[in-house]
Amino acid sequence: MFRDTVFELLNESLQKRPDLFLIDFEILEGNRIRVIIDGDSGVLVGDCIYVSRAIEHNLDREDQDFSLEVSSVGASSPLTHMRQYKKHIGRKIKVETFEKQKYEAVLTAANDINIVLEWKAREPKQIGKGKVTVEKIVTIPYQDIEKSQIKLVF
């Protein structure tokens, strides 16, 4: 009952802010509510405050004692939502498929079905000695992605 109420309040707040979306929601021991959100243009502190207030101001602490934590997804967190890929087009990401294929490449496209990665590789020449740089492109359906995350470049 409590979980359903909290989840409904969370969904209502996100419906009023379509630029934000839910990454994770759980209620831990002791009614500790943990919400992780992301946004199409990132997440500001004010966005977390907005979601927090939408939940907290509509719950009665006299009925149920709780703590609430609303945060944004971390820069090194795995990508878990389709919308996260779309906002990171142009960035380098690491992807591992369920078939254990590993890629570290630039995310050049993302739609509702798959992502497209591009990178340059050195391969042996077909004729003669030496290597040549070739452009590589791979399309990966979301259902084939086991894990992925942004490659942070410093």
Model confidence, pTM: 0.81
Q: At what angle do helices 2-15 and 45-56 cross, to 10 degrees?
A: 140
Q: For residue 63, what pLDDT is reported?
A: 84
Q: For residue 128, what pLDDT is reported?
A: 84
Which CATH code for domain 82-150?
2.30.30.100
* Rg, C-alpha atoms of the chain: 21
> Per-residue pLDDT tens for 75-104?
889 999 999 999 999 999 999 999 999 999
CATH 3.30.300.70-classified regions of the chain: 2-72
The fold of 2-72 is: GMP Synthetase; Chain A, domain 3 (3.30.300)
Q: For residue 74, what pLDDT is reported?
A: 86
139: left (phi over 0), alpha (psi -120 to 50) or beta: beta
CATH 2.30.30.100-classified regions of the chain: 82-150
101 SS3 class: coil
> Mean pLDDT, the chain, as a whole number?
93
Q: How far apart are CA 154 and CA 139, in angstroms?
A: 27
Q: Which parts of the chain register pLDDT below 50? A: none
